[in-house]
Structure 1
Amino acid sequence: MLSVFERLALEAGQVIMDIFHSKVSVEQKADSSPVTEADRASEKLILAGLRAAFPNIPCVAEEEISAGVGTPELGRCFFLVDPLDGTREFVSGRAEFTVNIALIRDGAPEIGVVYAPGSGRFFAGHPGKAEALTLRPDQTISGRYPISVREGRPPLTVVASRSHRTPETDNYIRRIEGAEIVSIGSSLKFCLIAAGEADVYPRFGRTMEWDTAAGDAILRAAGGSTTTAGGKPLVYGKRNRAGEADFANPSFVAMGNVSGAPEF
């Protein structure tokens, strides 16, 4: 399954970059978030590949949900797809956008890939093993090496959203003494922690499950965690909750091997 994820992410990345280097047309979805031809083309490619390879596993994808396509019946396993995470970065010409594909099993992200075609960074994870992949100039895989979270020591490096910072997030960061802040878009924040390049990613504000699943799978495989209030693991497949959108996440904090981080 992981090899299929990797192949589809690379193919989707090529489609995205072809559009990135042309004139990008931007539309607004019902929730006022931007969407482009690249989002839709990437998702179409990924979903076709997943449904051909794994016809019995349902797919939940951002643009299908936004377009009002009915959610499939979900069992123990399903795929979560964000075909272009960081659309604002994409539209702004920054290379921090990613392709995200994940398998959810029993509410937890089990397998995931995150590919940033603009920078060539590629991460993958499955239970007990997280890797960074290296690519040739033709965007084929040339090698891979294991990654893991580091032992967080002060001053901690905190990764925070470039486009979606909230006062609650800033208040949490201020409670981390001497924090070194790195602002970056998309699911790369999870991957930097997984690779031992950062320590904490607090997110207080709206995210959706497809935004986080692939990066969360890689982080957990690398020895990290993503928890909600009270230290409970972030769970997936959240539906039919009063007053809340399907697949919406609560606030969370993702981190590596860090002791003494503030609670929330």
Structure 2
Amino acid sequence: MTDYLKLAAEVGEIARKAGAAIMAIYETEDFGVEMKSDDSPLTKADKAANDVIVAGLEALEFQAPIVSEEGKELSYATRSQFTRHWLVDPLDGTKEFIKRNGDFTVNIALIEAGKAILGVVYTPVANELFYSAPGQGAFEVLTEGGEPKKIQAASFTLQDSNLRIVASASHLNQATKDFMDKFDQPQIVQRGSSLKIMELARGNAHLYPRLAPTMEWDTAAAHAILLEAGGKMVDDGTGKEMRYNKENLLNPHFIGYGAVQEELLSC
């Protein structure tokens, strides 16, 4: 039987090594920026981190196929045969990396039967590690070698005043504004990359409406952590928990939330 908590710690060390590879490039003047076919940026750091993660995961005793944003694209015919697989974003928040604002992460998730069951999120600049294991909780390690501390999503109701809603300045579209208008004096919390979801898992925010495009590798690791912290991430159209390894790896618009005491149907 797999010891998922031990596995999460091992993957956390892989994420730290990938973070070190990212930081080695972050401290130089040449990021080697190029544009991908979808007009999103790619840097030397994305590639370096991907190489570290793939080598690290392949060296584990626990074996599963790897799907990575920066890896070889796999057909759905191939992916649909997976009972489990790693889902990787070696550098989530490449735009933040290029801006040098520190809000970028390494994301590694384990997917089983369409569900994110184990997650690792590492923030290289802050040297903060978050991870989860199924049925065993979510944790943060704020210093290398430090003791893991259990994290818990904040408990609230939708009628509460001053709810903290995570939003990105670059994605504050009309749909997001309309969502926020449903609440009494909401407070905006701005973070980059999957750190938005970590704000929910840590209890620092209550809601995260993402009514703009994301990919599966952008959210899976943080989603797994949020679930273990007592929160949820639901498809905005169906109200059902987000699923992974779909034929199209584009996520639906979704709402992430902490330990809400009622369903989001009224939203």
Q: Same fold (TM over 0.5)?
A: yes
Is the CA contact 2:165–2:207 (under 8 Å) kept in the aligned structure 1?
A: yes
Equivalent position of 1:253 in the other structure: 255
Shift of 1:55: 7.0
Residue 173, structure 1, aligned to residue 177, structure 2: no
Residue 53, structure 1, aligned to residue 50, structure 2: no
1:190 aligns with one of 192, 197, 214: 197
Equivalent position of 1:150 in the other structure: 154
Equivalent position of 1:33 in the other structure: 40
CA distance in 2, matches of 1:250, 1:141: 37
Equivalence map 1:67-146=2 (5 Å): 68=73, 72-73=78-79, 74-128=81-135, 129-135=137-143, 140-146=144-150
Gaps of 5+ in 1: 240-245
Number of equivalenced pairs: 252
Is the CA contact 2:140–2:149 (under 8 Å) kept in the aligned structure 1?
A: yes
CA distance in 2, matches of 1:162, 1:76: 37
Shift of 1:112: 0.4
Shift of 1:216: 0.2
Corresponding letter in the other structure for 2:18: A
CA distance in 2, matches of 1:70, 1:11: 29
Gaps of 5+ in 2: 1-6
Listed one character per residue, the Cα deviations across residues 40-59 of structure 1 (whole Å, up to 9, x for unaligned) are 10011101111221574111
Moved more, 192-201 or 122-131: 122-131
Consecutive aligned runs of 4 or more in structure 1 exceeding 6 Å deviation: none
Is the CA contact 1:102–1:113 (under 8 Å) kept in the aligned structure 2?
A: yes
Equivalent position of 1:243 in the other structure: none
Corresponding letter in the other structure for 1:82: D
Shift of 1:120: 2.1
Equivalent position of 1:164 in the other structure: 171
Is the CA contact 1:88–1:163 (under 8 Å) kept in the aligned structure 2?
A: no
What root-mean-square deviation, in Å, do the aligned CA atoms of Structure 1 and Structure 2 show?
A: 1.7
Corresponding letter in the other structure for 2:142: T
Corresponding letter in the other structure for 2:155: E
1:235 aligns with one of 218, 243, 246: 243
Is the CA contact 2:57–2:63 (under 8 Å) kept in the aligned structure 1?
A: no
CA distance in 1, matches of 2:241, 2:217: 16
Equivalent position of 2:3 in the other structure: none
Moved more, 55-64 or 249-258: 55-64
Residue 15, structure 1, aligned to residue 21, structure 2: yes
CA distance in 1, matches of 2:164, 2:134: 25
Q: TM-score, normalised by structure 1?
A: 0.90
Is the CA contact 1:162–1:185 (under 8 Å) kept in the aligned structure 2?
A: no
Higher strand share: 1
CA distance in 1, matches of 2:145, 2:219: 24
